[in-house]
Amino acid sequence: MAEYRIDDLARAAGTTARNVRAYQERGLLATPTRRSGRALIYDDSHLARLRIIDALLQRGFTTAHIADFITSWETGKDLTEVLGLQQAVTATWGSSAAPLEVPRELVDTFLGGVDGAPVTGDELERLAELGLIRLHAETVEFTQPELLETFGALHGYGFGLEALIDVYAAVGRRVDDIARLMVTAAKDHIVAEHGAGWLPDSDAEVAATTKMLNHLRELGVTAVQNTLAQALDRVLQSELSAYLEAAAEKRGATKQPKD
């Protein structure tokens, strides 16, 4: 296990020695028992804890919240489990397609109500119905981890989880309609080319049909991404213009001299 003096530890964690001392005073970081002369000697467990603290601070937690969370998380847990939280907190969720399983407490912290209310059972059930999570006894498994980061970021602006689920579900219904349109087009093309009930008889026909379907899929994905991006730009510009116009009229009205 590596050894660090306080300046070396701070540098490795991307923080300052002053912060390290402050975390120790607030009970977030254990004071090491080893010394070299008068200098305290830290180890990898301190570095891992600092990275956890930094990740939580970056996501808007206060040091008081972090202290409560770490204390509750450590209750009944061994060191390996505690340090394993680092992976759940600091993983680059948006770049990984693999499911991400996180403690139930972490879900509440990211997605609970702005007043600190936990995620409700109904909200979890809706997320599960949409295929976004799998529920386990003490953890929640996110099947699309990038959405946890996106939902968490919007939650930081005051968006409630229920409203975000409504938006996602509404978009999903419209995307389902587009998917049916694309699949119907593929089916109609196959029937027109080969007749109803046709199935590929050779490896070459299987490969050709698969390639065609993949190209059609690429067309659908590209069309949805491009047209949605363009539509968002148009609607945002229109709505923003209308909002600014109404705001200007309201401000002008409040500045009118009274008789």
pLDDT digits (tens, 9 = 90+) for 224-246: 888 888 888 888 788 878 877 78
Burial 175-205 (b: 16+ CB within 10 A, else e): eeeeeeebeeebeeebeeeeeeeeeeeeeee
Residues 115 and 98: their CA atoms lie apart, in Å, by 31
* Residue whose C-alpha is closest to residue 99's, from 58, 59, 132: 132
The mean per-residue pLDDT over the stretch 99-115 comes to 74
Per-residue pLDDT at 82: 41
More confident residue, 225 or 259: 225
User: pLDDT per residue over 15-72, tens digit each?
Assistant: 999 999 999 998 888 889 889 888 999 998 888 888 878 877 776 677 877 776 676 6
pLDDT tier for residue 88 given thresholds of 50, 70 and 90: very low
pLDDT tops 70 at residue 183: yes
How would you classify residue 202: left for phi > 0, otherwise alpha for psi between -120 and 50, otherwise beta?
beta
Per-residue pLDDT at 125: 92
* pTM of the predicted protein model: 0.53
**Greatest alpha-carbon span in the chain:** 89
Per-residue pLDDT at 147: 74
Query: What burial class does residue 8 get, using C-beta atoms within 10 Å of its C-beta: 0-12 exposed, 13-18 middle, 19+ buried?
Result: middle
Q: If you average pLDDT over every residue of the chain, what do you get?
A: 79
Per-residue pLDDT at 21: 93
- For every residue of 40-89, DSSP letters joined together read E-EEHHHHHHHHHHHHHHHTT--HHHHHHHHHHHHTT--HHHHHHHHHHH
User: pLDDT per residue over 135-180, tens digit each?
Assistant: 988 888 888 877 777 777 787 677 888 888 999 899 888 888 888 8
Per-residue pLDDT at 96: 45
pLDDT tops 80 at residue 211: yes
Per-residue pLDDT at 77: 47
